[in-house]
Amino acid sequence: MAHILIIDDDEILAGLFQDYLEGEKFTVVTVHTGEEGLQLALNGRFDMVILDVMLPDMSGNDILKQLRQQSNVPVLMFTAKGDDVDRILGLEAGADDYVPKPCTPRELIARIKAILRRTESTYSQGSDHCIEIGPLQLWPQQRKAHWHQQSLELTSTEFNLIETLARQAGQVVSKNTLSEKALGRPLARFDRSIDVHISSIRHKLGQREDGHDWIQTVRGQGYQLIK
């Protein structure tokens, strides 16, 4: 039974979503201010945080940035429908995915289940052998990553992405496959989520000695992790 934190100042909508989630056997806590939500999110009791971009006391993106300094708990952002700027800023700040408002409870639950499913069971079959590609080491069951023998801090979605690329290192992986593996949903038209997450991973990995990125873009096809 997953524990979900909703941070949203729309009390009616948040209450509706809480009722639906509890009907799906989730344990839900709802708060309506950013400050209270941040403190609860940092206590580590939640399996996922649902965070509205627009809050009365703090920006959702500012909350997310502070949260990411101490926690990699999956975060699903509420963004204004059609507002690409909010979506990209949220993803760059470390959100795992977003859902536009207004949305249906069914869509919200589908997104939550997809993220939790990828977080809890990504490639969890069998023993937790280490995947090693150059300076990268991954332990899928532990969801632990090392880069040049140092701990590599990744969000849940970033871990799913780099694991998928590592398992097919040297091969091109399509954006749709990455979306299915990392987000648990098909890639939507004009959706830049994968691009933003890949950009974040590239920043954390740095560049190769030859000045190129470890994750290469293959135009019109997808991405490739260099062996």
140 cis-preceded (ω within 30 degrees of 0): no
Predicted pLDDT at 124: 47
Query: Look-up: residue for tokens 């948040």?
Result: 14
What backbone torsions phi and psi does residue 150 show, to the nearest 5 degrees? -115, 145
DSSP state of 3: E
> 206 in the Ramachandran plot: left (φ > 0), alpha (ψ -120 to 50) or beta?
left
DSSP-based three-state secondary structure for 76: strand
- Token pair in block for residue 59: 């920006």
**Cα–Cα distance between 166 and 131 in angstroms, integer?**
7
Query: Are 147 and 205 in contact, with CB atoms under 8 Å apart?
Result: yes
Cα–Cα distance for residue pair 102/77, rounded to 1 Å: 12
Domains of the chain: 3-121 (3.40.50.2300), 131-225 (1.10.10.10)
Do the beta carbons of residue 63 and residue 38 sit within 8 Å? Answer: yes
Q: How far is Cα 210 from Cα 194, in angstroms, rounded to an integer? A: 25
Distance CA 171, CA 224 (A): 6
Task: Count Cα atoms within 13 angstroms, Cβ side, for 166.
Answer: 23
| CA distance linking residue 74 with residue 151, whole number of Å | 19
Determine the 3-state secondary structure of 132 from DSSP: strand
Q: In tens digits, what is the pLDDT along the chain, a chain of 227 residues?
A: 899 999 999 999 999 999 999 999 999 999 999 999 999 999 878 999 999 999 999 999 999 999 999 998 999 999 886 678 888 988 999 999 999 888 889 999 999 998 888 776 544 455 568 999 999 999 988 889 999 999 999 998 999 999 999 999 999 999 999 999 888 888 888 888 999 999 999 999 999 999 999 999 999 899 999 98
| Mean pLDDT of all residues belonging to the chain | 90
**pTM for this prediction:** 0.82
